[in-house]
């Protein structure tokens, strides 16, 4: 969030009004990130990756910016439609498409589906005769089988990953789709947190023989994965836009983290401080609220709200409240002298934060609040104990 928003006052107000832990999203920051993508890729069709953050207020904001959506599940599809994304601007994909999701996507008017494998196309083939499927077309997801220079859990282009098909398998599926007159093109998502622009050149090199072979293609979907911070957008744009222009196809991108990560903070209060050989700051937020540090070893900057960063000379682990050694938000975080009751802001938490939050240990998922540039408003209330058993039966 920009310094002229008086971050400390804003964060303190949000924590006082809505409690902690709380996610706070800066909607103007999302608009800024969207504009930076449009400047870099002026001809691309943007499809926001809903899995990054599916809060309804945030989705409505992204839809109002003119973005489409990329959905992987029935829930994401329904959320997208409810938030106002046009069905024709929704790309459906993922390896786990079910018969129910296929039927619903056709019924809703989704016009572009990424096929992770031939089994997904088999689900759609009986639906192709429906009037609602008249404009439905498909992309085939290619697994180019290279190292995209990121964390192994995020390396979706690696040969060992579950996503997509090797070149010859992708070509065979494309031939089947093309014989039905339904081929739109190919889809590659190399990975997430990409900082090496050479990855973009490897992606387009893998696609060249397929577009030479299937000259009827009209689209190419190159996913997202641009790192926050540090993505060399101009270099990615040169490779991706050049490929699309060379083959006369429309470029689709699926940004998720890039739009929303830097727009979100997780606000958490210090419960206890344990000083010894290592300082442990026990906070009221942990892995049930923000899983990425435990899952990926992800690092998130932590700010002691109101403290001068120049005085943050004490290293401490910021740990969560659960009985798990992996329950931490940061290791060796630079803090000032910290005490119980202090407010911490865990930055770059707008993507895969609340989206991965859970009720582990019967934790109550946090509130979500948005800042629209003028006022704070509650976007999702904090869970209450009765929410934990609300869906249970009496059996």
Which domain CATH number covers 69?
Answer: 3.20.20.10
Q: Does residue 193 come out as left (phi exceeding 0), alpha (psi in the -120 to 50 range) or beta? A: left
Specify whether 297 is located in the same domain as 178: no
pLDDT digits (tens, 9 = 90+) for 337-374: 999 999 999 999 999 999 999 999 999 999 999 999 99
**Residue 154: band (very low, low, confident or very high) from pLDDT cuts 50, 70, 90:** low
How many domains in the chain?
2
Specify whether 247 is located in the same domain as 287: no
Domain boundary among 217, 244, 259: 259
Specify whether 120 is located in the same domain as 130: yes
Cα 195 from Cα 227, distance rounded (Å): 6
Q: What is the pLDDT of residue 58?
A: 98
pLDDT at 179 over 90: yes
Cα 240 from Cα 221, distance rounded (Å): 10
> What six digits make up the tokens of 198?
């050479």
Domain boundary among 259, 279, 307: 259
Specify whether 9 is located in the same domain as 64: no
Residue 222 resides in a domain:
yes
Residue 392 resides in a domain:
no
How far apart, in Å, are the Cα atoms of 387 and each of 15, 35, 130, 322, 384? Answer: 22, 38, 40, 19, 5
Cα 283 from Cα 304, distance rounded (Å): 12
pLDDT at 192 over 50: yes
pLDDT digits (tens, 9 = 90+) for 23-43: 999 999 999 999 999 999 999
Specify whether 222 is located in the same domain as 329: no
Specify whether 201 is located in the same domain as 292: no
**Residue 3: band (very low, low, confident or very high) from pLDDT cuts 50, 70, 90:** very low
Q: Provide the 3-class DSSP secondary structure of residue 20.
A: coil
pLDDT at 2 over 50: no
Residues involved in catalysis: 323
Q: Quote the domain boundaries for residue 344.
A: 3-23+261-380
């Amino acid at each position: 969030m920009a310094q002229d928003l008086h971050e400390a006052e804003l964060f303190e107000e949000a924590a006082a009004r809505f409690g902690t832990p709380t996610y706070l999203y800066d909607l103007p920051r999302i608009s800024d990130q969207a504009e930076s993508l449009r400047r870099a890729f002026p001809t691309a069709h943007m499809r926001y990756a809903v899995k990054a953050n599916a809060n309804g207020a945030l989705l409505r904001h992204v839809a109002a910016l003119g973005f489409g959506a990329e959905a992987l599940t029935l829930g994401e599809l329904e959320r997208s439609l409810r938030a106002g994304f046009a069905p024709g601007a929704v790309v459906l994909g993922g390896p786990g498409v079910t018969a129910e999701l296929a039927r619903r996507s056709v019924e809703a008017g989704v016009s572009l589906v990424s096929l992770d494998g031939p089994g997904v196309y088999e689900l759609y083939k009986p639906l192709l005769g429906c009037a609602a499927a008249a404009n439905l077309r498909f992309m085939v997801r290619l697994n180019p089988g290279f190292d995209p220079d990121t964390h192994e859990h995020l390396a979706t282009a690696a040969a060992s990953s579950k996503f997509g098909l090797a070149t010859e398998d992708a070509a065979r599926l494309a031939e089947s789709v093309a014989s039905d007159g339904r081929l739109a093109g190919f889809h590659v998502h190399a990975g997430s947190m990409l900082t090496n622009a050479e990855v973009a050149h490897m992606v387009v090199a893998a696609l060249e023989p397929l577009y030479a072979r299937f000259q009827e293609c009209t689209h190419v979907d190159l996913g997202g994965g641009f790192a926050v911070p540090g993505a060399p957008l101009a270099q990615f744009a040169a490779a991706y836009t050049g490929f699309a222009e060379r083959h006369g196809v429309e470029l689709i991108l699926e940004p998720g983290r890039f739009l929303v990560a830097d727009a979100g903070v997780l606000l958490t209060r210090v419960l206890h401080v344990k000083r010894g050989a290592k300082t442990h700051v026990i906070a009221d937020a942990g892995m049930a609220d923000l899983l990425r540090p435990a899952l990926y070893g992800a690092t998130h900057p932590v700010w002691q709200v109101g403290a001068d960063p120049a005085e943050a000379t004490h290293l401490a682990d910021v740990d969560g409240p659960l009985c798990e050694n992996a329950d931490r938000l940061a290791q060796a975080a630079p803090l000032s002298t910290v005490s119980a009751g202090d407010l911490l802001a865990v930055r770059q938490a707008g993507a895969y934060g609340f989206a991965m939050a859970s009720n582990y240990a019967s934790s109550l998922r946090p509130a979500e609040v948005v800042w629209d540039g003028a006022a704070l408003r509650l976007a999702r209330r904090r869970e209450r104990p009765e929410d934990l058993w609300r869906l249970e039966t009496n059996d």
